[in-house]
Structure 1
Amino acid sequence: MLLAVLAANVVLAQSPGGTGYDVTGVDVDVSGADAVQARAQGIREARRKAFGLLVNRLVPAEDRARLPQIDDAQLENMVRGIEFVRERPAPGRYSATLNVVFVPDAVKSYLSGAGAKIVETVSRPALVIPLWKGPAGLEALNDRNAWREAWQQLDTAGSAVPVTLLRGDPTDQGVLSAEQAYVGDVSALARLNERYRAPTIIVATVEGDKTSGGLTVRGMRYDTQTGARSEIPPMPVASAADLPAAVKAIHAKADQDWRGIGTVRRDSQDSLDVVVPIRALSDWVQVRQRLGAIPSVKSMTVKSLESDRAELRLEFFGSPEELQRTLAQAGLSLSQEAGQWQLQAR
């Protein structure tokens, strides 16, 4: 069965989890009359910057323009806490990296009062394995090259797909080789993921000479919850200087694809009775696994299970039309025939 090892630990129903009201990795660099005032100004700026990122995450683009200006007092009341990841104070200057955690109810009240729809995107972290295949073959996992550096420079703050880069240290190399990552050895990827626990693994490869000539970027995305995988189509790159743009393109596509599945509109909910045709056990397993990885599916109740069909009751956020589009992006087809809804893997 496709990627059965990676999909072994899939959950069957989406549990209500974090709603994404924390913003991490907020960088500030401000000046003030003295160190105390500079620090206070830096914290205010961090709150404002984090709130902007949060709004981009929660509010559809068409609704953002209607939001009224918010003052520092209002913003302070929306913040539950601030974590000081790194501080670099200096006389009259404050430079730091902070994490800001907001109070969900306070943020929702402000946004709803402004007439904005709230779209909650459940984040889906990704582990990136950067590979370089040159004329002599694949470089080692710990090779320090322009491709790895491009991924290290990627800013995923506020993204639905925050990225962790493979360390490539002896522990990683003990369970996965560059060759195994390149060919998609799912057993080795699963062993590696016992360390990182990432819902998505992106194997991103550059092919070509490091010092001259054009390059080609390609790869694969692996969903460790459903076992699904998708190709990153080949992308020509003129030179190593253009690799950061290729990194952004790969990440933007992953972010866009996940937002299509992971976005939850909690202002409405509905339910449907559906039939899942079963020709083989793998049909039922595949549908169940993919449903379990969709945040807008609130719950799944098995009403009956027979050798050739299963009857389910789906409780979900949004409308049936929105559910159809979300399921399609997750590789599931929901259609209505003779007044009955049918659900099956595509």
Structure 2
Amino acid sequence: MVRLLAAFGALLLALCLSPAFAAQDDVFVVPRVPVQASGESATAAKLAAQVQGRRRAVDILLRRLTVESDWVYLPRLVRGEPAEATGDPALGKAAISLSDSSMLGLESSFEVYSEKSSATTYRASITYRFKPDAVRRLLKNARLPYSETQMRKALVIPVLETDRGVYLWEANNPWMAAWRARPYLNELTPMTAPLGDVEDASTITAQQALSLNSARLGAMADRYNVSQVIVAHARLKQSGGQDQLTVKLINGFREVDAPPADVEIDPTLVGYQGGDAPTVGGGVRDIAPAGIGEVLAQAVFAESSGNFPALADRAIEGAIAKYASAWKSRTLIDHSHEGVLETTAFFESLADWTKIRAGLLATPLVGSVQVFALSPRGAEMRLRVFGDPQRLAVAMENYGVTFWTEDGRRWFLATPSRAGQLRGSSALRRVYSDGNYNREDPAAPRIDNAVEQLAPPTDDKIAQPQ
């Protein structure tokens, strides 16, 4: 049995500390920033354009990660202006100041697309990649909470409505063209536009999309392997030389795990071994997914007629920012508040445990994990968590793992189906009465020690064990 546990633990450690389970850095990429500059020479114009693009990219990134109420502490780099606020001593927040050289220090690499130049001009699109740890330190030092947890990718169906008709797959739908012109997979709420090929056109029409035809939208979700489909309805009105675009992001389809049968399961899978530690209490409320037809974001934008691409680009960025706002506030990392949560993980297979650990590794809301006891069916651990545990529950849900508490003292991790069997069960309450493991319960098993440490791969968190 001991050899089996040792082999099991070694395999888990090898799997979960591999690069495949490292936190994704997609949100630290700002893709396809358009740049245009002139100079005394082609080289001077190119360098000026790169600096211009970097300022714009850092602007986008910092506002992507932080809540709108904290944007007053961020410099307006494109305008070359400092932050509106100097700081807030009561909250400990400080304004961020960045020079061109310090912004260069945040950058890890860049890629150039569609490059065009002359003797004195330069034009291109540049994708900027930033160093996650450097950006985290910048925000942490300013004591600005931030989010880097991505929601699951959604498919967006861009429908344009004008006085002349409704457009989706037509070649003259500039709203679709705008969504496809730039990738939006690096947002906290990543979205992708459909290919617009014959199969798409035969699957759903513009009217079916607007009427939220569940069968057709579900077929699109299956084709693109996503759990959510969002209908981006844009209403264009033209009057007096002005284009007004009213945009609604509507939840058209959402795949929700079917609730498991209410089966009473004995949770005697693991036993807690370890000393006392300070704990963080507080309940986690269930967070219901958006209902079908719910408007996720709505905004109105206007521009002088004749430049619809610019209007559409601004509308997309604004709508996505509004949609991301609620998600961002639910997944904020606040380094000014942290605590230790006594936690039990339940699993029935190596795949389930690997999934749980991968989620803990991926989320920046967890500073470190200390595993005290391990069996083939469960583990006891302590989690060092930043901010409200409720935010960790939201983040883990996004990785396909349920994180909950029965009494605010001991916390649990499991796959959704397993959690559905365990939550509220009398056996769970009996074995873990008053937040403590009840060794005297006849159903409580003996468990071998398999102590290990797990720290996500960032340089400002707890190091790997010696």
Do both share a fold (TM > 0.5)? yes
Aligned to 2:251: 220
Q: 1:98 aligns with which of 103, 116, 126?
A: 126
Q: Secondary structure at the match of 2:172?
A: coil
How far apart, in 2, do the equivalents of 1:134 and 1:266 lie? 48
**Which letter does structure 2 place at the counterpart of 1:271?**
L
Aligned to 2:99: 71
Q: Work out which structure has the larger RCO, using CA pairs closer than 8 Å and 6 or more positions apart in sequence.
A: 1
**Which letter does structure 1 place at the counterpart of 2:23?**
G
How far apart, in 1, do the equivalents of 2:180 and 2:409 lie? 52
Aligned to 2:24: 18
Q: 1:259 aligns with which of 313, 317, 328?
A: 328
Paired residues for 1:73-222 under 5 Å: 73-112=101-140, 114-117=141-144, 119-124=146-151, 125-131=153-159, 141-142=169-170, 144-145=172-173, 147-148=175-176, 151=179, 159-173=187-201, 176-178=203-205, 181=209, 182-185=212-215, 187-194=218-225, 198=226, 200-205=228-233, 219-222=250-253
**Which letter does structure 2 place at the counterpart of 1:318?**
F
How far apart, in 2, do the equivalents of 1:31 and 1:128 lie? 37
Query: What displacement does 1:82 show?
Result: 1.3
Answer whether contact 1:128 1:201 (CA < 8 A) is retained. yes
Query: What displacement does 1:28 show?
Result: 1.6
Q: Structure 1's 325 and 42: CA in aligned 2 closer, same or farther, altered over 3 A?
A: same
Query: What displacement does 1:34 show?
Result: 1.1
Cα deviations across residues 183-240 of structure 1 (Å, max 9, x unaligned)?
Answer: 122651333214xxx5642123469999xxxx9967325455868553334979999x
Q: Secondary structure at the match of 2:124?
A: strand
The alignment-based identity, stated in percent, is 18
How far apart, in 2, do the equivalents of 1:87 and 1:39 lie? 10
Answer whether contact 1:270 1:320 (CA < 8 A) is retained. no
**Which letter does structure 1 place at the counterpart of 2:294?**
I
Q: 1:270 aligns with which of 309, 325, 340?
A: 340
Q: Structure 1's 191 and 50: CA in aligned 2 closer, same or farther, altered over 3 A?
A: same
**Which letter does structure 1 place at the counterpart of 2:99?**
D
How far apart, in 2, do the equivalents of 1:90 and 1:314 lie? 60
Answer whether contact 1:82 1:98 (CA < 8 A) is retained. yes
Q: Secondary structure at the match of 2:23?
A: coil
**Which letter does structure 2 place at the counterpart of 1:270?**
V
* Structure with greater Cα Rg: 2
Q: Secondary structure at the match of 2:326?
A: helix
Q: Structure 1's 151 and 314: CA in aligned 2 closer, same or farther, altered over 3 A?
A: farther
Q: Structure 1's 117 and 226: CA in aligned 2 closer, same or farther, altered over 3 A?
A: farther
Q: Does 1:57 align with 2:64?
A: yes
Answer whether contact 2:37 2:45 (CA < 8 A) is retained. yes
Aligned residues: 312
How far apart, in 2, do the equivalents of 1:252 and 1:216 lie? 13
- Structure 1: stretches of 5+ with no match in the other structure: 1-13, 277-287
**Which letter does structure 2 place at the counterpart of 1:190?**
A
How far apart, in 1, do the equivalents of 2:340 and 2:219 lie? 41
Query: What displacement does 1:32 show?
Result: 0.7
Cα deviations across residues 21-76 of structure 1 (Å, max 9, x unaligned)?
Answer: 22212222111111111111112222232222222234551653434533333333
Query: What displacement does 1:180 show?
Result: 6.3
Answer whether contact 1:59 1:116 (CA < 8 A) is retained. no
Query: What displacement does 1:319 show?
Result: 3.2
How far apart, in 1, do the equivalents of 2:365 and 2:301 lie? 43
Instruction: Identify which range, 336-345 or 26-35, moves more after superposition.
Output: 336-345
Query: What displacement does 1:147 show?
Result: 4.8
Answer whether contact 1:131 1:206 (CA < 8 A) is retained. yes
Query: What displacement does 1:98 show?
Result: 0.4
Query: What displacement does 1:167 show?
Result: 2.6
Q: Does 1:27 align with 2:38?
A: no
Query: What displacement does 1:171 show?
Result: 3.7
- Structure 2: stretches of 5+ with no match in the other structure: 1-19, 75-82, 84-93, 239-245, 259-288, 347-354, 413-418, 424-466
How far apart, in 2, do the equivalents of 1:341 and 1:53 lie? 36
Q: Secondary structure at the match of 1:121?
A: coil
**Which letter does structure 1 place at the counterpart of 2:142?**
G
Q: Structure 1's 315 and 223: CA in aligned 2 closer, same or farther, altered over 3 A?
A: farther
Instruction: Identify which range, 31-40 or 252-261, moves more after superposition.
Output: 252-261
How far apart, in 1, do the equivalents of 2:124 and 2:343 lie? 52
**Which letter does structure 1 place at the counterpart of 2:340?**
D
Query: What displacement does 1:16 show?
Result: 3.8
Answer whether contact 2:344 2:380 (CA < 8 A) is retained. yes
How far apart, in 2, do the equivalents of 1:220 and 1:138 lie? 19
How far apart, in 2, do the equivalents of 1:183 and 1:161 lie? 23
Q: Secondary structure at the match of 2:196?
A: coil
